[in-house]
Structure 1
Amino acid sequence: MNDPLAAADELNRAARDWRSEPARSTQLEALALAVTANLPVLLWGEPGIGKSAGMERLADGLGVPLETVIASVHEPSDFAGLPVIGDDPAATGVPMAPPDWAVRLATAGRGLVFFDELSSAPPAVQAALLRVVLERRVGSLSLPEPVRVVAAANPPSSAADGWHLSPPLANRFVHLNWTHDPRTVARGLAGTWPELRVPMVDPAKTTGAVARARGAISGFLTARPGLVHSLPSDAEARGGPWPSPRSWEMALRLLAAGYATGVARDAVAAAVVGAVGDGAGLELLNYLEELDLPDPDRVLADPDAFALPDRGDRQLAFLTAVVAAIQAEPTRRRWEAGWAVLAKAVDAGVPDVAARAAGDLAKMRDTDWPVPSGIDGFVDLLRLSGALAG
């Protein structure tokens, strides 16, 4: 006798089949950028918007296993671990046993864990998730670094028994608004969805990308110190992105990943705003538009061929980037080129702008390296600070 459901199952499989095509999607690119930077991502969207389907496509694009965990139906102990009593607890302690999904990811060595319905999880569960999101620890088990963390939440107004996210948990995520384009949905239901491309880091750009990002963030926060930490006053805003030293570090990593991968600016902008919030994020983006830092590695390769920027904030950001690039690859040639760059600040009559960079550069000196001529304008300052001792 034929199985009466076999034909129906075959029909359902055919209806679920789809292919992909190259197409731009800012939200997909921002998600892929944050995943590349290994930062936890939180997708905000109404029910049925396609967040779970996006995770399946992301896992397929990464070629990694996907573990979906519905946060709202778990207890705190499911993330903190359950105590397992051994023969001699006084000698061995009491290990906290992890759940099966964490063991599968640790065994695979890589993967994607998707915490769904996060805004429906009560505060006690959110507190237990803090360590999982930040440290990648589940009970006594450490998740491997190649395991990426993504979560999804419905706005409290549309979530079942919704809660605002606690500020400590919210500040650990890059927040992305997950919306739908009716034309994309229509084409997808016809069998073709946009292709999710995971950006590839160019190893040759890594040093310069990190240095540029350090210079940009450091220069911006020097000019706008009030934005280093700004906790919103109302509960709903505290459950979203807002600026803190932690989220500025996330913005730095996103910028560096963007520089090293060549991801489109609007996707980088969406991810950065998702880390530090609308106000601080838009100010940073405007600052970056005007900043236009040159590649510090190119400058160090030929320090005589560049001109120092005119504005003080751009000078500080650029010199910070140069020092960061040297610190990432400290050779005598690059160190001496750095002093040639700083000497231009002295010649331009702004040695105070370069003073901090000069102190950092002096501390990198190998005892076998001779003192270069470009250091002359900083000798008195460095001796007073002790950076030239010996």
Structure 2
Amino acid sequence: MMLSDRNIPIADDLIALLTATGTEPRPDNQLEALTLAVAADLPVLLWGEPGIGKTATLEQLATGLGLPLTTVIASVHEPSDFAGLPVVGDDPAAQGVPMAPPDWAVQLVRAGKGLLFLDELSTAPPAVQAALLRVVLERRVGALRLPPGVRIVAAANPRSSAADGWELSAPLANRFVHLQWTYEHEVVVRGLNGTWPRAVLPRLDPDSLPGAVARARRAVCGFLEARPTLVHRLPDSEARRGGPWPSPRSWDMTLRLVAFATAAGVSREVLSMLVRGTVGDGPGLELLAFIDRLDLPDPETLLADPAAAVLPQRGDLRQATLDGVIEAVRKRPDRARWDAAWAVLVRALETGAPDLVVVPASTLAALRRDEWPVPAELERLAPVATLRRRVAAAR
């Protein structure tokens, strides 16, 4: 059946109904990581297979943030489209030759804000990637500087699924926060039914900003003091150089992300995505473990007031806390501290899994001196008989 001129408006109405969708608040770690990095004004690179919604996510993000979206397909541009075209004036010897920016950059400057979306980045040839270096890091396009209200997000397909793809150059890759973009079946089905997750900037607690900065600096600087070889580590393979890897630049980005994540109170999963997407999986996971240890309660505080002890809920952190208490007693043993440590173990038994208490209790029992009587708190620990035998055997 032929589509007549009368039917075109009706077809347009049907298309409008199909494209009219809404949003809803919905937990989404990927989207939360993306919006936090955008709030931190760091360039983000979304890696994902074709057709999984990277472009649609950016369109929805721009709408949700009230920012005009400017999409630039990197692979179809020349280096001069980013570095600028030379414009010869009346007296080049006196005035020089300015580099004229493209129209999309001029429009962003006029708007004073916007979301610059660099799509198909992995299909851009090396010369174009080199021209993008100043755009991504310095926010310069030709002779123009993009205003602070402009955020940059890029998208790329893995080389295996990209059309005539290239590996990302190491200098360009090191300027991005890399996020692996996947889809969730339930989100896609609900979105096709007309409702997608809503992208909103994280809420930052203004009272927590100084503390968030101090915590981020303590975490990153303390970690790099302990692991100096990770300050700069360029990967050996070309493929890995096109992803996240540690350098002073990427550690600076990581510090900013930790501060923003702390001020926003995001989950550990979101922080993990951001940190690993900036310095790589290995260094990122090491940093997260270091942050976990920083957040552990001070053993001396726990020994000073065992009844008020607040212990971590996560099993590994609780175990590390109890080990820290026992180590503190071992380094400075006396009867009062030994008794207080038993009170901390009782507190741990009352508020968590009993099996986490057994090993610390055995170690603490071995620290007993002959003149120290068995503490009354031991009666509340299970199994009592086993613990009593261990205390007696340690004499």
Task: Give the Cα–Cα distance (whole angstroms) in 1 for the partners of residues 190 and 261 of structure 2.
Answer: 29
Matches within 5 A, 1:144-223: 144-223=147-226
**Does structure 1 conserve the Cα–Cα contact (< 8 Å) formed by 2:47 and 2:157?**
yes
**Number of residue pairs matched by the alignment:** 295
Shift of 1:2: 6.1
Distance 1:193 1:144 in 2: 30
AA aligned opposite 1:69: V
**Partners in 2 of 1:132 and 1:118 — Cα distance?**
13
Q: Could you tell me which amino acid in structure 1 is paired with residue 23 of structure 2?
A: S
Structure with higher Rg: it is 2
Q: 1:65: how far off?
A: 0.3
Selected match of 2:115 from 112, 115, 118: 112
Q: 1:33 touches 1:268 (CA, 8 Å); kept in 2?
A: no
1:240 aligns with 2:236: no
Contact 2:177/2:274 (CA < 8 Å) preserved in 1?
yes
| Cα separation, 2, equivalents of 1:200 and 1:111 | 20
For 2:269 and 2:16, how far apart are their aligned partners in 1? 36
Q: Decide whether the 8 Å contact of 1:212 with 1:293 is kept in 2.
A: no
Partners in 2 of 1:243 and 1:65 — Cα distance? 33
The residue identity in structure 1 corresponding to 2:170 is P
Query: For residue 246 of structure 1, what is the amino acid of its counterpart?
Result: R
Alignment of 1:257-296 (within 5 A): 257-292=260-295
- Does residue 1:18 correspond to 2:21, yes or no? yes
Q: How does 1:86-165 map to 2 (within 5 A)?
A: 86-165=89-168
Separation of aligned partners in 1, 2:64 and 2:276: 25
Give the aligned partner of residue 318 of structure 2.
none
Contact 2:65–2:199 (CA under 8 A) maintained in structure 1: no
Q: CA deviation at 1:89?
A: 1.2
Q: Normalization by structure 1: what TM-score? A: 0.74
Q: Which amino acid aligns with 2:263?
A: A
User: What secondary structure sits across from 1:60 in the alignment?
Assistant: helix
Could you tell me how far apart the structure 2 residues matched to 1:94 and 1:199 are?
A: 43
* Identity in percent: 66
In the TM superposition, what are the counterparts of 1:278-357 in structure 2 within 5 Å?
A: 278-292=281-295
**CA distance in 2: counterparts of 1:10 and 1:247, whole angstroms:** 48
| Conserved? CA contact 1:201–1:257, under 8 Å | yes
Structure 2 residue runs of 5 or longer lacking an equivalent are: 298-331, 333-395
Q: Which amino acid aligns with 1:208?
A: G
Where in structure 1 are there 5+ consecutive unaligned residues?
295-347, 349-390
* Displacement of 1:266: 1.2
The match for 2:304 is none
Query: Counterparts of 2:126 and 2:280 in 1: how far apart (Å)?
Result: 22
- Equivalence for 1:59: 62
Distance 2:203 2:90 in 1: 49
TM-score, L = length of structure 2: 0.73
Three-state SS of the structure 1 residue aligned to 2:116 is strand
Q: In structure 2, which of residues 79, 86, 96 is the aligned counterpart of residue 76 of structure 1?
A: 79
Distance (whole Å) between structure 1 residues aligned to residue 132 and residue 146 of structure 2: 13
169-178 or 198-207, larger mean C-alpha shift: 198-207
SS of residue matched to 1:217: helix
Indicate if the aligned counterparts of 1:33 and 1:263 stay in contact, CA closer than 8 A.
no
Q: Which amino acid aligns with 1:272?
A: V
Equivalents in 2 of 1:175, 1:156: separation in Å? 15
| Cα-Cα RMSD | 1.4
Q: Post-superposition shift, 1:207?
A: 1.6
CA 1:3–1:34 in structure 2 vs 1: closer, same or farther (change >3 Å)? same
The one-letter code sitting in structure 1 at the alignment partner of 2:265 is G
